[in-house]
Structure 1
Amino acid sequence: MCGICGFVSKQKITLDQLKEMNDTMHHRGPDDGGEEIFAGKEGYQIGMAQRRLSIMDLSPLGHQPMHARDGRISVVFNGEIYNFLELREELQEYPFCSNCDTEVIIAAYLKWGIKCIDRFNGMFAICLYDRETRDVYLVRDRIGKKPLYYEVDGENLIFASELKPIMKREGFHKKIRREVLSRFLFQQYINAPETIFENVYKLEPGSILRFRDGEIKIWKYWDIKKVYHEMQQRPVTDYEQAKAQLKALLNRAVVCRMIADVPLGAFLSGGYDSSLMTAIAQAHSKEPVKTFSIGFCEERYNEAKYAREVAEYLGTKHTELYIDEAEMLDLVESIPLYYDEPFADSSQIPTMLVSMLARKDVTVALSGDGGDEFFCGYNIYENVRMAQQLDMLGGLTHGVCGLPGLRQMGLEDKLPFRVRVIAGNRNRETKTQFGAGNYVTRANRMVKGEGMPCHYPVESGYQVSDWQVRRMLLDMDTYLPGDILCKVDRASMKYSLEARCPILDKDVMEYSFRMAHNLKYEKGNKKRILKDIAYDYIPKRLLERPKVGFGVPLDKWLRGPLKEQLTDMCNRDYLNRQGIFDAEFTADMIENYMKTGDGGPATGANYSKLSWSFFTFQQWYDAYMR
């Protein structure tokens, strides 16, 4: 786990400047740093830099940039190639001098070319420079576990694991991409390929970018839609067969993620996913696995007692930390420093705290991320299934309400909320993203000018008739990499901690696509097969309960200790000078919310989520733009 940055540029960037860019990510790699600049063809310079968090081969032999023995290839790399030992067996003709996975990337490229990426099972962001072909490649892992930003400035390319190095480049223009803001306020994150800045992009998960002589070409080597349909050609319908195979794949995924030359532990919330990952790790460990959980003094947010029960049953070496609101509030100011792009998923705060706790004892932590998206765990999936069953009736209701005379009466607006949602859900591209109409309206009204739609109008591209499956695929493309994995990456790297996700193993993901959907969901039983595997390790009584998750009392904060700050942020004079938001509408809405909890007259809705998105954007703006 590290941070990388660099450039391919005709602009004069010195080694000192490259080092300054690199050092903005010191938290991602406090153990070592390396920067080099090479002369390319046609007046280009190639700069490569890395901050290293030493996990495999702690010796100086793992230093980056790393070069091929013949000097043809140079690489900087962030992440882990979990099957590097297997690949190394196939690459014995290469004269290895280290025991780290970075050198396997070089050897694999020399043997198989850029198609070597298809053989890698891991989480990674890679920059590879081939002097022979003059190609510079940027590569991001299949599901987007590791971040990779890039800026296109004329014929120049600048890249980094975070935005800070790019912002540090001399001559960088901080021009906000306004069209993403309404969607950000609603979704609470900015999904790839967009970023907050113009001319700066996130390389999408499963993608390769090639820069050659000023020309950029980008393609997908692993695409969720394509892989899903390919895997469906070899369906698995037998439950016991699927359970046995998935269990074996999960065991292999956990075991290869336990390979490290530094202390390793696991996040343990007491839910199905983290408990299962911990149980498998404990089954393969010669000593008690170190587990970590956060407890909340407010009982309705607290899952620590469940995690403790699971830890006691498994026999792990468990550490828990109870925190109060004051400790969580203390972290609010640090959000823009480590999430250097607007990001408003408030569970980032407890995720930072559990990362801080784990880092005191370990350098690597296993997590259960991905279980909900790949095995149908979120409550929204239940709502989506019901909405599909009622869609025909909703269309009929919408048609009747649109008849002459009835339309003028505004009959549809007078329907009960749930009926109104189903009736109004007529866009075939957003069928599984219904509801929250007031939020969408207000997010659009808050920002000046036209923006992207708040929902993702892409659903027909999945070519899946089952709405539940379609929404799961959409979440894998958007919410999982854009929100969940971004949250965990920045929170863990704040404390120089590597988080590993066995459920997001390539083989596990692809096998899940082969499974008949009723193996994952049956008559309201979400994550059916994953739960059954968990029961092989942990008694059902310790796991079966409503899902809670990492909660933060946003409404209490925004209308309490953060109220003065939020009031300053929506000052009309300031908003007019800023020129981004509709000053009158935004100020009225947030002032109304702070007084009543509502976003405006007669809305009957709590707008803490939208107000928190606005708060985190203004916090980010204050840190980087003022």
Structure 2
Amino acid sequence: MCGISGIIGNDWEESSLDKMITCQIHRGPNNSAKFVDESKFVGLGHNRLSIQDLREEANCPMTDNSGNLTLIFNGEIYNFIELREQLKEYTFKTSSDTEVILAAYLKWGKQCVTKFIGMFALAIWDNKNHSLFCSRDRLGIKPFYYYYKNNTLIFASEIKSILAAKVKAEPNWNQWSDYLRFGAMDHSHETFFKDIYMLPAGHNLLLHNFELSFQRYWNVEDASIGIDTSDLKQSTDYLYSLLTDTASLHLRSDVPVSVNLSGGIDSNLLALLIDKHTTSDTCYSFTSSFEDKTYDEYQYVKTLKLNNITKLSTLTNFEDIPTLAYKLTKIQEAPFGGVPTIAYYKLHQSIKEHKIPVSLEGQGIDELFGGYTYTHPYHYADIVKTHGWTFLLQEYPNAAQYRKVIESIIEGHPETVSQDGTSHLRTQAINKEHLSNKNEQLKIVSPYSDNLRDTLYKDLFHTKLPRVLRMNDKLSMSQSIELREPFLDHRIVEFAFNLDNNLKINRSGGKFIIRHLMQNLTGGDSSYIKKLKMSVVTPQTTWLQNELSGWVESILNSQSFKTRGIFDTQVVKSLYADFKTHGSNNSSYIWQWINTELWFQTFIDQAI
């Protein structure tokens, strides 16, 4: 895991590239280096966090044996050992996955990325053809930001690095409107900064003769699986084979590896897989903890039976929040998830203190297999369209409580809700100028013929997972920790979207096939079949209502918030007073106000 940066064009200063590299040193503290061609048309910068082949020879920028190709790379290619067997014609000088990328590009060209199992953001300069090839992994686990103006391309792993190259920080009001009205973040190629974009997941970027072009190299909807995905046994066996293989691949490292655990099924599954495959004498797990047992997941982690993993916890208190909220705003470069994100940041501080450069987490299972309760009515709507209401209520008696939601889905206008099914927006607090002349709904492609897979697709590629991946990459890399995502192996994603929906959601709830697999792995423990998804896992709402109310009011009553012009401050004042007095099931709208003001204070009011 590293930081990459680059400037390509005729008129730029080398000092700008140096500042970009310095800005990302936390992403790669083991080595910083750059490549500038003789004509000073292209400059590539790199900060290395050494994970595979720790020798100096494996540093980036790395040039191939001919001296023509120069590579900078952030991420991991987990199947590099297997790929190396297919690239025997290349004379390797290292045992790194980085050099495998160069050899693969020489042999297969831009199609090489379709052979990678991993997470990556990379750039290859071809000096002979005077062209740049960039690529981002299929799920967008690794970031790639770019700015292109006046025939000059500037790109980096973080937006702050681009700003360091004399790009002015200005708000992108289109993105801010989507966030304020829909709570949408990281759902498109736009960022919260004007003229700074993200390379979409599963895409290549090419620059040649001052022409910038893009190519999508992976579509999950095109993938097929050679088994009967409506058969529970076949599907469970196939999924288990994928999970064991990806667990083994994700444990490849020349440095210590840990695992981030919560009290959920996904995390338990990851822990069991790692416990089985780890070869380390001491493998640690880390869990976010709170004093209030209502929100403390460590109490559930402690009951998990593991042979080779030592469990540790990190405590977050309400006193931590104000200071860390400002710090995380700069780290995140965009609105973030509040107390859960801050607690996760503290967890990675603890990992760093234990000098463990790599950790694994269990993101993706909920998005792939219908873990969130709000996705279930989409499945019910599909059943109604196919078999009618009577059949649905016979097979799923609890579906009756969602009748209005199901009807709205069938009619094509579902309500935007949080993961716990509650409404998280208070658009009446937004000034009218940010509501006018805008689309009434987010424009997101719907590639499938059924509602459930379309909403899972939306969550995975637009509305939920991308923001989580961005937040977790930024907070982990701020501590020089490489965070790996075994369940986002593209082979598992392709399997999930081919799996029969009835094996995702059934009477017992979502993630049925995962629950069934866990029951098998734990010797028939039926509690996993019945275990409910925990929607509220931090005391954010309680803290914002009580302990942190003074801090919240100091922001909402500040002169900058009042004169910002984004919110109707009188409506905000009234809504917050009601929130304190009567409470709420959801505090996302309170955090949205805080997030917005802190971002503008950090990036617009101050020089970064």
Asked if Structure 1 and Structure 2 have the same fold, meaning a TM-score greater than 0.5 normalized by the shorter chain, the answer is yes
- TM-superposed CA distance for 1:189, in Å, is 2.4
Aligned to 1:589: 571
- TM-superposed CA distance for 1:472, in Å, is 0.7
Which amino acid in structure 2 is aligned with residue 252 of structure 1?
A: D
CA distance in 1, matches of 2:322, 2:403: 39
CA distance in 2, matches of 1:561, 1:318: 30
- TM-superposed CA distance for 1:26, in Å, is 1.7
The counterpart of 1:496, out of the listed 480, 505, 511, is 480
The counterpart of 2:448, out of the listed 447, 463, 466, is 463
Aligned to 1:486: 470
CA distance in 2, matches of 1:231, 1:304: 39
CA distance in 1, matches of 2:26, 2:202: 26
Deviations 1:277-322 (A, max 9, x none): 1111111234453212122111211111110111x44452111233
Aligned to 1:521: 505
Which amino acid in structure 1 is aligned with residue 169 of structure 2?
A: K
CA distance in 2, matches of 1:437, 1:349: 23
Is 1:182–1:451's contact at 8 Å kept on the other side of the alignment? no
Aligned to 1:360: 353
CA distance in 1, matches of 2:105, 2:511: 38
| Structure 1 residue runs without a partner (length 5+) | 395-416
Is 2:377–2:405's contact at 8 Å kept on the other side of the alignment? no
TM-score in terms of structure 2 length: 0.89
The counterpart of 2:303, out of the listed 306, 309, 328, is 309
Aligned to 1:114: 110
Query: Percentage identity across aligned positions?
Result: 27
- TM-superposed CA distance for 1:453, in Å, is 4.2
Which amino acid in structure 1 is aligned with residue 473 of structure 2?
A: D
Is 1:384–1:468's contact at 8 Å kept on the other side of the alignment? yes
Aligned to 1:612: 591
Aligned to 2:434: 448
Aligned to 1:377: 371
The counterpart of 1:267, out of the listed 236, 260, 264, is 260
Q: Does 1:73 align with 2:69?
A: yes
- TM-superposed CA distance for 1:422, in Å, is 5.9
- TM-superposed CA distance for 1:5, in Å, is 0.9
CA distance in 1, matches of 2:78, 2:535: 28
Deviations 1:543-572 (A, max 9, x none): 553322673333344344544554454458
CA distance in 1, matches of 2:226, 2:233: 20
- TM-superposed CA distance for 1:535, in Å, is 2.4
Which amino acid in structure 2 is aligned with residue 531 of structure 1?
A: R
Which amino acid in structure 1 is aligned with residue 302 of structure 2?
A: R
The counterpart of 1:473, out of the listed 442, 453, 457, is 457
Deviates more, 1:510-519 or 1:125-134: 510-519
Deviations 1:585-616 (A, max 9, x none): x20222112212189xxx99667311211211
Counterparts in 2 of 1:418 and 1:254: CA distance versus 1, 3 Å:
closer
Q: Does 1:141 align with 2:137?
A: yes
Task: Provide the aligned C-alpha RMSD in A.
Answer: 3.1
Which amino acid in structure 2 is aligned with residue 67 of structure 1?
A: T
Which amino acid in structure 2 is aligned with residue 13 of structure 1?
A: E
Is 1:175–1:198's contact at 8 Å kept on the other side of the alignment? yes
Aligned to 1:397: none
Counterparts in 2 of 1:19 and 1:550: CA distance versus 1, 3 Å:
farther
- TM-superposed CA distance for 1:329, in Å, is 4.6
The counterpart of 1:125, out of the listed 121, 127, 142, is 121
Q: Does 1:333 align with 2:326?
A: yes
CA distance in 2, matches of 1:559, 1:318: 32
Is 2:79–2:116's contact at 8 Å kept on the other side of the alignment? yes
Is 1:128–1:136's contact at 8 Å kept on the other side of the alignment? yes
Is 1:303–1:548's contact at 8 Å kept on the other side of the alignment? no
Q: Does 1:506 align with 2:490?
A: yes
Counterparts in 2 of 1:389 and 1:446: CA distance versus 1, 3 Å:
farther
Aligned to 1:2: 2
Counterparts in 2 of 1:441 and 1:475: CA distance versus 1, 3 Å:
same
Is 1:62–1:100's contact at 8 Å kept on the other side of the alignment? yes
- TM-superposed CA distance for 1:266, in Å, is 0.9
Which amino acid in structure 1 is aligned with residue 26 of structure 2?
A: H
Is 1:182–1:444's contact at 8 Å kept on the other side of the alignment? no
CA distance in 1, matches of 2:487, 2:278: 19
Deviates more, 1:500-509 or 1:327-336: 327-336
Is 2:227–2:234's contact at 8 Å kept on the other side of the alignment? no
**Number of residue equivalences:** 587
Deviations 1:466-508 (A, max 9, x none): x222211111111344222112211211211111111111222
CA distance in 2, matches of 1:95, 1:372: 43
Is 2:132–2:207's contact at 8 Å kept on the other side of the alignment? yes
Aligned to 1:153: 149
| Structure 2 residue runs without a partner (length 5+) | 389-400
